[in-house]
Amino acid sequence: MTLQAKVMWAGIAVLGAISFAIVALTRGEPVNAAWLVVASVCIYVIAYRFYGLFVAHKALSVDATRQTPAYRRNDGLDYVPTNRYVLFGHHFAAIAGAGPLVGPVLAAQMGYLPGTLWILAGVVFAGAVQDMTVLFLSTRRDGRSLGDMVRTEMGPIAGSIAGFGVLLICVIILAVLALVVVKALTGSPWGTFTVFCTIPIALIMGVYSRFIRPGRIAEMSVIGAVLLVLALVFGRTVSENPTLAPYFDLSGTTLALIIIGYGFVASVLPVWLLLAPRDYLSTFLKIGTIMLLAIGIIIVHPDLQMPAVTRFIDGSGPVWAGGLFPFLFITIACGSVSGWHSLIASGTTPKMIENERQIPFIGYGAMLMESFVAIMAMIGATVLHPGIYFAMNSSAGLIGTTAEQAAQVISSWGFVVTPDILTQIAHDVGETSILSRSGGAPTLAVGMASILSSFLGGRALMGLWYHFIILFEALFILTTVDAGTRVLRFMIQDFVGAVVPAFKETKSWTNNVIGSGLACVLWGYILYQGVIDPYGGIWTLWPLFGAANQMLAAIALTLCTVVLFKMKRERYAWVTMAPAAWLVVTTVTAGLEKVFSPDPAVGFVSHAWRFSQALSAGQVLAPAKTMETMSRVIFNDYVDATLSALFVGVVLATLIYAVIDVRKALGNSKSTAVEVGGAAIAGGNVG
Amino acid sequence: MCEMVVKTARLMVGVPDYETYVTHRQVNHPNQPIMTYTEFFRERQEARYAVAKGRFRGCC
C-alpha cells in the first residue's frame, strides 16, 4: 500500500470513528441523520477493502485465471459474460425488496442505536459474506442453485431438508408481505385506488410490449410511469369524492381476500400480460425511489427524534414482543443478513460473471448497498416524533381507536404526544387516521414524505409523497406475491409429484390451477389469520418471517462452511462458521422461546394455555372480544408454535449433517468439493 | 456511460444485450438460425418467469 493510500484509509477510519462516536454518545439531544449516513458509508468502505477482499482472496482464494460459467457455457442468453457494473445493477435489483425497508422500521421501537449496530455489524460479518460466498460456490458449479449445492455437497437428505426450509420461508414471506400491503391500504381510498390502478396499467403495458411495439421496454415503462403518476394524483380526487370513495374504502378482511384472489388469477395468466410489465415498472420504480430517498436524506439531513435506546429493549415493546436478544436480530432480517439472497446469489448472477475476481464487488458490494437501504429505512422511521411512530405501529388492542386514547396511552409510556399531533399528521398525508398502521410501510411512508416534502413541494405535497411511497412498496410486494405464488406452486408440484408423478407436469393447465390454488391457500390462510388477529398480525407474524429468513441464512452459511472444509481451506473456515454459529444460536433461541417461553407475550404455547384456561372458565381475555375469537387465537397459537418448532428442527438437522460432513472432510487429505471446470484460462471462447 | 445505464436497466428486468447474443450466434454457431429481436425478447421474458429449480428472484 502506498503512503497516499495509507493516509486516505486512515482518514476514512477517523471520519467513521468520529461520526460513530457522535451517533453513539449523544444523549438527551437529537442527533443528526447525516452522522449516521457518514458513519455507515465509512464502515462499508473499510469493510469492503479490508474484510470483503480478505475473505475473497485469502479464504475463498478466488482464481482470476479460472474460466467462469459465463465463458464455459456461453449461450448469449442465460450464460453471458457481462460487464461488472451492469451485473452489479442486475444483482442489486434482484436482492433489493421490501425486507430491508420493513425490518429496521419495526426494530426502531428499541431506539435507533441497537438496530443500526446490528445492521452494520451483521452485514459486514454475516450478510455480505454469505452473499459473496454463495455466489462464489455457485460460480464454481455452473450457476447451480442453493438446493442443488446442498444436495451434492451434503447429501440428498440434507438437500430435502433445505428444500423444505425454502418452502416454509416462501409461504411465510408471501403472507407477511401481503399483510404489509393490507395494513397500508385498510381504510385508505387514495392508496387503494392507486394500487388497484396498477393492474389495468400493467395490462396496457403488457399488450403494448407484446403486440404494438414488441420488446420496447423503455417506451412501455415511460407509458406506465406516466399513467401511474396520473393514478396517484387522481387518487386524491377519488378519496375526496363522496360517491366514489366508499368503493375503495375497504376493510382488512376484504383486502386480504382480494389479494389472495389476485395472487391466484395473476399466477395462472401468461407472464407477458400482467407479471412482466408490473415487474418492469416496480423494478425501475424501486431503483429510482431508493436513489430519491438517498438524495432526500443527504439534502435534508433531518434530526433523529427517536431516543438512541428506548425502555423497550427489555422486551415489553408494543410493536413486537421479545427482548433484544434474540429478537432484534430476527426482526431486522434482510438489511443485515438475508437467507433469501442465497437463492438469488445462486440464480442468474453466477452465470454472467466475467471473472472470479469480480465476485467480491458484486456479492459483497451489492449487499452493502442493501444494508444502506436498511439504514435509510431506520432514518425514515426515527425522524418521526416517537409518539407518531408508536401510534402507527401499536395495535388497537393496546392504544385504542381514537387519537385521544392513543395519545394518552403513548404518553404514559414516556413518549409525550398530544391528540392534535396525531390528527394533524394524518390530515397532512391525506388519511383519516394513522393509528395502528403496523407493517412498516406506512411508517416509512410518513417519514419519507416528511423528508421529501421538505425539499420538494412542502406540506401541500406531503399526501402525494406518502401515497407514492405506499404505491412503490405495494407495487413490488404484489409483484412478489405473483412471482412467489408461481415458485411455491412449482415447489408444491415437486413435493407432491414425488408421490403422484402426473402432478409434476408443469405444462398442464389443470396442474397449474390446482398448484396455484394450493399455494394461495397456504399463504392466504396465514395472511387471513394475520388480518383478523386481534394483536394486529405483524406483532405475531413478523418474528416468524424473520426466523424463517435467518434459518435459511444459517443453512446457506453452514453449506459454505462445509464446502470450505471440503476444499481443505479449514484454516479460514471461521469466516463463515462464526456468522453461521451466531445465526444458529439466534434462530434456535428465538424459535424455542416462541414455543416454550412462559411469558404469554412471547411464547405461543403459554399464550394458548392462558387463553384455554380462560375459555374453559367462560372468560373472554382482551384483545379478543368473543368466545369465537378466543378459540381462533388458541388454534393460531398452535399453528405458529408448530412453524417455530419446524424452523428449529430444520436448522438443527442441517447442523448435524454439517458436523458429519466436516468430520469426513477433515479425515480426507485431498479436496472433496464437487466443483465444475478447472484451471483453464479465463476469457477462453467456448461455445 | 449512457449505453451502460441502458444495458443495466434492461438486464435488471432480465433482458440481456441483444447485440451480444447475435455476435455470439454468428461467431459460434454460423449458418444456424438467429432469433429476431422480438423473438429474443419473448424468449427472455418467458425464461425470466419460467419457474424451475434455481430460479428465484427478489423478495427482500
The per-residue pLDDT for range A322-340, each reduced to its tens digit, is: 899 999 999 998 899 999 8
Three cell numbers written together for A85: 457494473
| Cβ atoms of A655 and A584 closer than 8 Å | yes
Chosen from A77, A205, A369, A512 to mutate, greatest number of chain B CBs within 10 A: A77
Q: Chain A contacts of B55, Cβ < 8 Å?
A: 145, 347-348, 487
Residue B52 has pLDDT above 90, yes or no: no
Which of A275-284, A456-465, A552-561, A578-587 shows the lowest per-residue confidence on average (mean pLDDT)?
A: A456-465
B/e letters for A1-25, b = 16+ CB within 10 Å, e = fewer, are: eeeeeeeeeeebeeebeebbebbee
pLDDT band at residue A507, thresholds of 50, 70 and 90? confident
Q: Chain B contacts of A346, Cβ < 8 Å?
A: 54
Nearest-5° Cα angle at A47, A284 to A557: 80
Residue A687 has pLDDT above 60, yes or no: no
Tens of pLDDT, residue by residue over A349-366, are 999 999 999 999 999 999
Residue of B8, B25, B42 lying closest to A86 (CB–CB): B8
pLDDT band at residue A678, thresholds of 50, 70 and 90? low
| Cβ atoms of A30 and A14 closer than 8 Å | no
Residue A603 has pLDDT above 50, yes or no: yes
Higher pLDDT, A372 or A488: A372
Question: In Å, what is the CA distance from B28 to each residue of A78, A83, A680, A683, B39?
Answer: 16, 20, 19, 15, 20
When pLDDT is averaged across residues B33-60 and rounded to a whole number, the result is 77
A667 interfacial to chain B (CB closer than 8 Å)? no
**DSSP calls for A282-295:** HHHHHHHHHHHHHH
**What phi and psi values does residue A535 have, to the nearest 5 degrees?**
-85, -5
Residue A80 to residue B47, Cβ atoms within 8 A: no
Residue of B9, B16, B25 lying closest to A284 (CB–CB): B9
Rounded Cα–Cα distance for residues A73 and A79 (Å): 6
Q: Chain B contacts of A352, Cβ < 8 Å?
A: 16
- Hey, which residues does A303 pair with through a beta bridge? A32
Tens of pLDDT, residue by residue over A239-252, are 999 999 999 999 99
Q: Chain A contacts of B48, Cβ < 8 Å?
A: 271, 276
Tens of pLDDT, residue by residue over A620-657, are 887 788 888 888 889 999 999 999 999 999 999 999 99
Residue A24 has pLDDT above 70, yes or no: yes
When pLDDT is averaged across residues A101-106 and rounded to a whole number, the result is 94
> Tell me, what's the pLDDT at A490?
86
Rounded Cα–Cα distance for residues A389 and A411 (Å): 12
Higher pLDDT, A281 or A623: A281
Tens of pLDDT, residue by residue over A567-579, are 999 999 999 999 9
Nearest CA in chain B to A103: B60
B/e letters for A115-142, b = 16+ CB within 10 Å, e = fewer, are: bbebbbebbbbbbbbbbbbbbbbbbbbb
Rounded Cα–Cα distance for residues A307 and A382 (Å): 8
The SS3 assignment for A32 reads strand
Residue of A97, A209, A271 lying closest to B58 (CB–CB): A97
When pLDDT is averaged across residues A189-213 and rounded to a whole number, the result is 96
Three cell numbers written together for A656: 448435524
Residue of B15, B21, B46 lying closest to A271 (CB–CB): B46
Residue A287 to residue B38, Cβ atoms within 8 A: no
Higher pLDDT, A89 or A490: A89
Rounded Cα–Cα distance for residues A108 and A380 (Å): 10
| Cβ atoms of B54 and A335 closer than 8 Å | no
Percentage of chain A beyond pLDDT 70 is 99
Rounded Cα–Cα distance for residues A125 and A576 (Å): 8
B30 interfacial to chain A (CB closer than 8 Å)? no
When pLDDT is averaged across residues A399-414 and rounded to a whole number, the result is 94
Q: Chain B contacts of A343, Cβ < 8 Å?
A: 56
Tens of pLDDT, residue by residue over A140-161, are 999 998 988 999 999 999 999 9
Residue A218 has pLDDT above 90, yes or no: yes
Residue of A89, A276, A333 lying closest to B12 (CB–CB): A89
**Average per-residue pLDDT in chain A?**
92
pLDDT band at residue A4, thresholds of 50, 70 and 90? very high
B39 interfacial to chain A (CB closer than 8 Å)? no
B14 interfacial to chain A (CB closer than 8 Å)? yes
Residue B24 to residue A76, Cβ atoms within 8 A: yes
Rounded to two decimals, what is the model's pTM? Answer: 0.95
Tens of pLDDT, residue by residue over A26-58, are 777 889 999 999 999 999 999 999 999 999 999
Three cell numbers written together for A169: 420461508
